[in-house]
Amino acid sequence: MAKNYLLPKGLVNRFNWVQTPIWLVEAAAFYMLLGFAKALPFPVVATIFGRFLGSFGYRNAQKRRVVRRNVSVVLPQTRERERETVVRRIFRVTGLAAAELFLLGRIWRRRAHYLEFSIHPEAQDIIARKEAIIFATAHVGAWQLCNLIGREHELAISVIYTQEANPWLHRFFLARRRAFGGPMVPSAGGARTFLRELAAGNSVGAAFDTRIDQGEMVPFFDIPTPTSTLPAMLAMRGYTLLPIRTVRLPNWRFLIEVEAPLSPRNPQAPRAEQIIDLTHQLNQRFEAWISEYPDQWLCMKRRWPKAAVVPQSPDV
């Protein structure tokens, strides 16, 4: 997680004494935004947050370059002006995501108004048996709402989180995530944390579309890139791997969609090959989601290696 949200990292590193005061100011700002959000209807909050944070984030030249590069891979045949429109909308999504997290409890309490569920028949049978499941998603759409599938179907899904450096913000985000209804588990143990929760009978869920520098080189939009093989490795231990996403619908509604379980295409292949195959299948699901809603992919960090050949716009 980010160490600081309001000030550049370099400035804080030069003046260490400002760290605690800045953390307090940041926490106060977040609590003020939360109070503001609670006083207004969700559509109003999402609209305001989307416009404000979208405009604020787009001014960050470094982030803008990263997002542009990611979008150029996803939309290689799109002209520069259209790509830039997508980039602007992606920054707006940061505000929508903030509104969804801040008012997560309200969304759940009024789920009849806000939420729809679509579950593949094979996945429905597995969920009904209350098995320990690996729910894999990407930072596309309202991805933070995916864990609500657990509350809807009385399925224990452990909320595995990365601790904030700011202790006050850590408590802030922890309180918001309690709306998921599952056990709160810090991610310090890495893969062991996931294994422990699954062995205890709890399902786990996480987004796996970000770059993992120590990961395996697996194609993503036809470009090999370091990718986490953790969900595939867990699946090879006998747990079901289910792709899940949350689609933003018109009128401020959401569709939580659980797809068919993934399994190795060649069960007789060596274990290492099956892991790569499963990881590639998951990447292909992410590609489909991102291609459907490219302007809702929260891709603020470089996804592909710096040496990767990025497609040029037709304008070039």
Report how far Cα 43 is from the mean position of its chain's Cα atoms: 21
- Burial category of 118 from C-beta neighbours within 10 Å (exposed 0-12, middle 13-18, buried 19 and up): exposed
Cβ atoms of residues 204 and 135 within 8 Å: yes
- Tell me the two tokens of residue 116: 């729809």
pLDDT in tens, 19-55: 788 889 889 999 999 999 999 999 999 999 999 999 9
Confidence band, pLDDT 50/70/90 cuts, at residue 160 = confident
Phi and psi torsions of 287, nearest 5° = -60, -45
Distance CA 130, CA 44 (A): 37
**291: containing domain:** 9-296
Quick one: pLDDT at residue 163?
Answer: 83
Residue 305 within a domain: no
Instruction: Tell me how far apart the alpha carbons of residues 122 and 110 are, in angstroms, rounded to a whole number.
Output: 28
Tokens 């996480």 correspond to what residue? Answer: 206
179-182-187-189 Cα dihedral, nearest 10 degrees: 170
Residue 307 resides in a domain? no
Distance CA 234, CA 190 (A): 12
pLDDT at 311: 62
Residue 306: inside a domain: no
Tally of CB atoms within 10 A around 5: 16
The whole-angstrom separation of Cα 4 and Cα 1 is 9
Residue indicated by tokens 């030249």: 61
Instruction: State the greatest distance between any 2 C-alpha atoms of the chain, in Å, as a whole number.
Output: 59
Q: How far apart are the first and last CA of the chain?
A: 36
Asked whether residue 269 is domain-assigned, the answer is yes
pLDDT at 183 > cutoff 80: yes
In a domain, 23, yes or no: yes
Residue pLDDT, tens place only, 285-299: 999 999 999 999 999
Answer whether residue 312 is part of any domain: no
Given the structure tokens 């489909």, which residue do they identify? 288
Is residue 103 pLDDT above 70, yes or no? Answer: yes
Domain count for the chain, please give it: 1
**In the prediction, which pLDDT does 4 show?**
54
Q: Are 287 and 53 in contact (CB under 8 A)?
A: no
Provide the 3-class DSSP secondary structure of residue 214.
coil
Name the pairing type of β-strands 240-249 and 253-258: antiparallel
Whether 174 shows a pLDDT value over 60: the answer reads yes
